[in-house]
């Protein structure tokens, strides 16, 4: 085939010019690099055509601190519809495609759902032919590479750029200068193509790398001040070194603030420069640009845009403000008070004094506007952007944009009716819901090709790849035993693949006939990995007391990273690993339960975990999980949810039926009505719970004299830091969770009945495509059109 010959010729050329070897002599990492470079020769001309077809049209831009893209090779080949051809070419060369795929490091540009959502959105927009481009930071070491030593999380730098990054192009001539009070930094853009399925549209992810304006002080070096000679270089590069540096000190907070302003200022300067070059005016800027703030990390974009428009470009304030409000939109991702970002005035004045002055003016303008709308002077503090020594970034984001959206219907309702109700009363027209979604190209087509092929076979078409609502047609097979049997065979195959991978990388054997009960997400108290841990320990104790307990063998799998400075979350990881050590080494329980905490959970690991799951754990405290997207990935791969009535779980149950899932626990209204709750009394009343909770402090487990376990125990029973006791209702929901887990056990015994639940979930997952979400953003917020 001609395409193969051309691709091979390019690979040989890049092998020689990049590594000075023939393709046959390259190792897998090198083969991956030359393959990617060869493919880029095909991608770049199409990329340029996409830029040309959208020229002069309104385009959207997604500002996000995270873009958790995952590996690019397979995703790009699938969207280019070239994967089979490349696999065949490599096979002819005697090369295993899977080894080349594994040679690619995950791009370490995100941590959790926030960054993965951004990645799904970029994929969907390109597939749907919408012009949506991403702006963020090119972190050299990403979040971190996680490993466990004696059960403790240990962080290492994740040098994902070690072997080069062949998918991005450095655009040094488009660098901009970002100014801080302590000096200037150069922002250098690296552009990565985002390829839509079918390759009609290729959009751009532009990531900024921080570099020194003057990298080397020759005079200092000549005077033998060697550290001083490279100080500017090191200080600048620290900005794009690590995602979310530990901010437990002011130095850490200043670095985070630098990161936020760095990528926002660079991105806005970039957009303004390009716009001016074409139109020589900024008065129509908002008519051609829609900018989405992914949470409050990029909220400083509002005063920065005002700075550029008024101080640099000379527009008068009111005109500039009109442009700003009509350009920006804000996505709220949380109801957690502690996660509604605030910045100290002191830090802003120290690092960004000019921006702080502009925020003061915006705050003053807001207060005048509120008084004009009839808000009483005594009520102004509720809206104040600057208050009690802090700048409220969520308030700035609501006031400075035309749209504030929640990410699941329950979340948006809570924003409107509770958390942001005072703002909703002032600007009801700005509030809307955009339930999150996931791209089926990565989370089904790529990660579960066996199930994908079966779906296409049953439907007689692959239209579901770009229209996930087609899956609804699968419902007619819900009682077809041969279909359900084949589905369960595919599930078993995915479980075997995961088990082989876990054996290889973790050294742990797991029983593929057991129920794979999986909870994979960021480690946070409200996500309640601790609740699952308590259940496992309780089940273990019950098995010890009654070895004949009627349970189906269960493999409990966790995957999560805790933020480096989050002591309590790291304590939960250590506790789960202590439970795993106890359970997995006890021969008396005959392997009926096993606990596995996979190390360094990331997108490529997730692609193996989601298809293999029998049970999806979505057990956050009701009202705390804005949406979740892991729940959707499990559903898409045919796993019922055991979960609270929270986030997108509510809509999952609406689509697939509560009878096909396992809902438990307090609901939002129950929590609101809860009075005089005393967890210290409560946990004594629930059979078996006291010994489980007290195992944290009674010597059952060892926390290495860190005090982690006592701190966890205190947080539950007496409160800790600003938390009230059992702040996330782990104890209160325990009995209900245990009952739901018993229902899972009982339902699983009926294999066809279980398969039917799985199938109904799969067939009703169409709503949760990010294609649907992006279509809503494009039409209802950004007002952009397809090419």
Nearest 5°: phi and psi at 515? -75, 125
- The catalytic position among 192, 327, 621, 629 is 629
Helices 529-545 + 567-584 axis angle, to 10: 20
Q: How many helices (H) and strands (E) does the chain have?
A: 33, 21
Helices 73-80 + 83-92 axis angle, to 10: 120
- Both tokens of residue 345? 């005035």
Contact 551, 590 (CB under 8 A): no
- The catalytic position among 145, 491, 527, 756 is 527
CA pair distance 104, 72, nearest whole angstrom: 8
CB count, 10 Å around CB of 647? 28
Q: Token pair 């590069």 is at which residue?
A: 237
**3-class SS of residue 519:** strand
Distances (CA, A) of 439 to 60, 80, 410, 436: 19, 16, 22, 10
Contact 698, 692 (CB under 8 A): no
CA pair distance 239, 787, nearest whole angstrom: 36
Contact 598, 506 (CB under 8 A): yes
- DSSP readout, 266-332? HHHHHHHHHHHHHHS-STTHHHHEEEEEESSTTTTHHHHHHIIIIIIS---HHHHHHHHHHHEEEE-
Active site residue 608: no
Sign of torsion over alpha carbons 242, 244, 249, 253: positive
Instruction: Give the max Cα distance, the chain.
Output: 82
CA pair distance 410, 52, nearest whole angstrom: 41
Contact 783, 58 (CB under 8 A): yes
Active site residue 633: yes
CA pair distance 21, 30, nearest whole angstrom: 10
Helices 751-763 + 734-749 axis angle, to 10: 110
- The catalytic position among 521, 528, 568, 757 is 521
Residue 159 gets the label, from left (phi > 0), alpha (psi -120 to 50) or beta, of beta
Active site residue 333: yes
Q: Token pair 């005079």 is at which residue?
A: 219
- The catalytic position among 71, 116, 256, 333 is 333
Contact 426, 375 (CB under 8 A): yes
Q: Which residues pair with 557 in a beta bridge?
A: 518, 596
**3-class SS of residue 406:** strand
Active site residue 522: yes
Active site residue 472: no
- Both tokens of residue 679? 């967890």
CA pair distance 58, 659, nearest whole angstrom: 45
- The catalytic position among 83, 441, 494, 633 is 633
DSSP conformation class of 68:
-
CA pair distance 737, 190, nearest whole angstrom: 47
CA pair distance 586, 582, nearest whole angstrom: 6
Q: 511: part of which helix (H) or strand (E)? A: none
CA pair distance 285, 480, nearest whole angstrom: 56
Could you tell me which of 595, 607, 395 has the C-alpha nearest to residue 498? 607
CB count, 10 Å around CB of 378? 7
- DSSP readout, 151-217? TEEEEE---TTTT--TT-EE-GGG-EEEEETTEEEEEEEEEEEEEPTTSS-EEEEEEEEEEESS---
> Strand runs (DSSP E) across 490-538, as ranges?
515-520
- The catalytic position among 116, 256, 442, 522 is 522
- Both tokens of residue 189? 């853009």
Query: Where in the sequence numbering do the catalytic residues fall?
Result: 333, 521-522, 527, 629, 633
């Amino acid at each position: 085939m001609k395409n193969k010959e051309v691709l091979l010729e390019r690979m040989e050329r890049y092998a020689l010019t990049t590594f000075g070897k023939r393709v046959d002599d390259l190792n897998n990492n090198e083969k991956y690099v030359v393959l990617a470079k060869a493919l880029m020769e095909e991608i770049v001309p199409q990329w340029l055509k996409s830029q040309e077809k959208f020229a002069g049209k309104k385009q959207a831009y997604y500002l996000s601190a995270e873009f958790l893209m995952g590996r690019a090779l397979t995703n790009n080949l699938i969207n280019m519809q070239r994967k089979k051809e490349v696999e065949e070419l490599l096979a002819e060369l005697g090369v295993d495609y899977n080894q080349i795929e594994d040679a690619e490091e995950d791009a370490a540009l995100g941590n959790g759902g926030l960054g993965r959502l951004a990645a799904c959105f970029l994929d969907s927009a390109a597939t749907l032919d919408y012009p949506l481009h991403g702006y963020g930071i090119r972190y050299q070491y990403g979040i971190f590479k996680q490993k466990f030593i004696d059960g403790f999380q240990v962080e290492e730098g994740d040098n994902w750029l070690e072997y080069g990054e062949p998918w991005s192009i450095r655009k040094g001539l488009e660098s901009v200068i970002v100014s801080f009070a302590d000096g200037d930094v150069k922002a250098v853009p690296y552009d990565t193509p985002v390829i839509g399925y079918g390759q009609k549209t290729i959009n751009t992810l532009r990531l900024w790398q921080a570099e020194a304006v003057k990298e080397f002080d020759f005079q200092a070096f000549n005077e033998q001040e060697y550290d001083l000679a490279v100080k500017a270089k090191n200080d600048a590069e620290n900005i794009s070194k690590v995602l979310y540096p530990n901010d437990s000190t002011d130095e850490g907070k200043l670095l985070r603030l630098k990161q936020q302003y760095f990528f926002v200022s660079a991105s806005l300067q970039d957009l303004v420069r390009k716009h001016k070059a074409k139109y020589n005016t900024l008065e129509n800027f908002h008519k051609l640009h829609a900018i989405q703030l992914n949470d409050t990390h990029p909220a400083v974009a509002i005063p920065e845009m005002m700075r550029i428009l008024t101080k640099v470009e000379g527009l008068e304030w009111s005109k500039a403000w009109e442009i700003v409000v009509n350009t920006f939109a804000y996505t709220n991702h949380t109801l957690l008070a502690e996660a509604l970002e605030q910045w100290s005035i002191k830090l802003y004045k120290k690092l960004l004094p000019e921006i702080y002055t502009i925020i003061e003016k915006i705050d003053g303008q807001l207060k005048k506007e509120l008084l004009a709308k009839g808000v009483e002077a005594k009520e102004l503090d509720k809206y104040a952007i600057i208050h009690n020594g802090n700048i409220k970034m969520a308030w700035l984001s609501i006031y400075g944009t035309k749209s504030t959206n929640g990410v699941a219907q329950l979340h948006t309702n809570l924003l409107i009716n509770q958390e942001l109700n005072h703002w909703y009363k002032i600007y009801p027209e700005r509030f809307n819901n955009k339930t999150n979604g996931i791209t089926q190209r990565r989370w089904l087509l790529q990660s579960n090709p066996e199930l994908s092929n079966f779906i296409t076979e049953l439907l007689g078409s692959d239209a579901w790849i770009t229209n996930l609502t087609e899956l609804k047609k699968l419902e007619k097979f819900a009682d077809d035993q041969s279909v359900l049997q084949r589905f369960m065979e595919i599930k078993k195959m995915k479980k075997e693949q995961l088990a082989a991978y876990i054996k290889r990388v973790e050294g742990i054997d797991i029983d593929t006939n057991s129920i794979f009960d999986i909870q994979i997400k960021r480690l946070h108290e409200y996500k309640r990995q601790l609740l699952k841990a308590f259940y496992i320990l309780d089940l273990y104790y019950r098995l010890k007391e009654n070895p004949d307990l009627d349970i189906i063998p269960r493999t409990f799998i966790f995957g999560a990273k805790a933020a480096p400075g989050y002591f309590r979350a790291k304590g939960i990881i250590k506790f789960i690993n202590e439970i795993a050590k106890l359970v997995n080494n006890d021969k008396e329980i005959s392997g009926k339960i096993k606990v596995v905490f996979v190390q360094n959970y990331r997108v490529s690991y997730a692609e193996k975990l989601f298809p293999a799951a029998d049970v999806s754990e979505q057990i956050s405290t009701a009202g705390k999980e804005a949406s979740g997207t892991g729940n959707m990935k499990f559903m898409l791969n045919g796993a019922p949810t055991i979960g609270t009535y929270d986030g997108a779980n509510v809509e999952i149950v609406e689509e697939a039926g509560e009878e096909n899932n396992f809902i438990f626990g307090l609901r939002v209204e129950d929590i609101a009505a809860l009075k005089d709750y005393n967890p210290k009394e409560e946990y004594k009343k629930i059979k078996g719970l006291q010994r489980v909770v007290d195992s944290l402090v009674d010597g059952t487990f060892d926390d290495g004299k860190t005090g982690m376990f006592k701190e966890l125990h205190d947080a539950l029973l007496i409160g800790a830091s600003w938390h009230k006791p059992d702040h996330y209702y782990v104890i209160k929901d325990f009995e209900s969770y245990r009952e739901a887990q018993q229902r899972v056990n009982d339902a699983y015994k009926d294999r066809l009945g279980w398969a039917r639940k799985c199938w109904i979930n799969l067939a009703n997952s169409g709503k949760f495509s990010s294609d649907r979400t992006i279509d809503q953003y494009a039409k209802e917020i950004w007002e952009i059109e397809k090419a």
